[in-house]
Amino acid sequence: MITLYDYELSGNCYKLRLLMSILGIEYKTAPVDFYPGREHKSEWFLKLNPLGQIPVIDDDGLVLRDAQAILIYLAAKYDPSGTWYPRGNPALLGKISQWLSFADGITATASAARLHDGLFYALDIDAARAGAHRLFRILDEHLWFGEREDRDWICSAPSPTIADIACFPYVMLSEEGGIPRQDYPAIRRWCDRVKRIKGFTVMSGVFPAGPA
């Protein structure tokens, strides 16, 4: 049984809950009081992850940190269809990794802005927002041309990959950091598509889509 060291309002933890919900993986959560308790910097947690970051999973003794790394592990191990992380397709794996790094960029900007606005982190909010807008412009353009090339998802595959799951949460939560998505209509349509994936689940601040 997988244990997810989880904080309900974390988009990076939500990525894992989302993929596990879609793949139908059973797991239990161990809540980490990220705010205001700063439990992710506590002695017991630093033994699990010396970086002091959530999420962490423990899958029968295998302890993994880093949301993107865990997405790779979960999809590689638990997705019988092999479509979320197609191990036999090097070109696609390269693209997926490229967008997983892009997702880290979204965390560093859009998520940081949300930590500033919501949890009072001291950081350069203007730089965080400007950085998020720069990434969103790139993603919107990529998705807009995707719609013209019959590509519904971030990577050129007929079904979604973990790249979509990695990018989705902090895009969807961006308004909590003062980053509107009004200027990114293709991102907004892609968000609808992600929400219609079978097994999709929500978190606080992420609303469901209606039936397609």
Partner 1 sequence: MQQERTRTRWHPIAASHDLPPRHVFHAQLWGREFAVWRADDGYVNVWENRCLHRGVRLSIGINDGRELKCQYHGWRYANRTAGCTYIPAHPADAPARTITNRTYPAVERYGLVWSCEQPEGEVPGVPGLEREAPLALRGIPVNAPAALVVTALRAHRFQPNGRIDGSDAEMVVKAADDFSVALSARADGAATLAIFFVQPVDSGRSVIRGVLDRDPGAEARNAVLRHHNAGLSVLRDNVERQAAARPAPAPIEPVYERVPAALAELPEPSAHGRKAALRVTVARKWEAADGIAGFELRPLKGLLPTFQPGAHIDVHLPNGAIRQYSIVNGPGESDRYVIGVKREADSKGGSLCLHETVREGDVLAISEPRNNFPLRRDAVKTLLVAGGIGATPLIAMAQALHHQRLVHSFHYFAQNEAQLAFGDRLDGLKDTLVPHLGLTPQETGGRLRDILSGYAEGMHVYLCGPGPMLEAARAIAGECGWPDEAVHFEYFKNTRAIDDSSAFEIALARSCLTLKVPAGRSILEVMREAGVDMPSSCEQGACGTCMATVIEGEPDHQDVYLNDAEKRAGTKIMTCVSRAKSARLVLDV
Contact residues toward partner 1 (CB under 8 A) are: 141, 144-145, 147-149, 181-183, 185, 188-189, 192, 207-212
Closest CB 149 distance from partner 1, rounded Å: 7
- Minimal CA–CA distance to 55: which of 112, 11, 18, 94? 11
- Minimal CA–CA distance to 4: which of 58, 47, 42, 51? 58
Closest CB 123 distance from partner 1, rounded Å: 22
Closest CB 121 distance from partner 1, rounded Å: 25
With beta carbons less than 8 A apart as the criterion, state whether 34 and 61 touch.
no
Angle CA(150)–CA(155)–CA(158) in degrees, nearest 5?
A: 50
> Considering just the CA atoms, what is the radius of gyration of the chain in Å?
17
* Nearer CB in complex with partner 1: 104/117: 117
* Nearer CB in complex with partner 1: 28/148: 148
* Nearer CB in complex with partner 1: 65/189: 189
SS3 3: strand
| DSSP H helix total and E strand total for the chain | 8, 4
* Nearer CB in complex with partner 1: 86/160: 160
Closest CB 206 distance from partner 1, rounded Å: 11
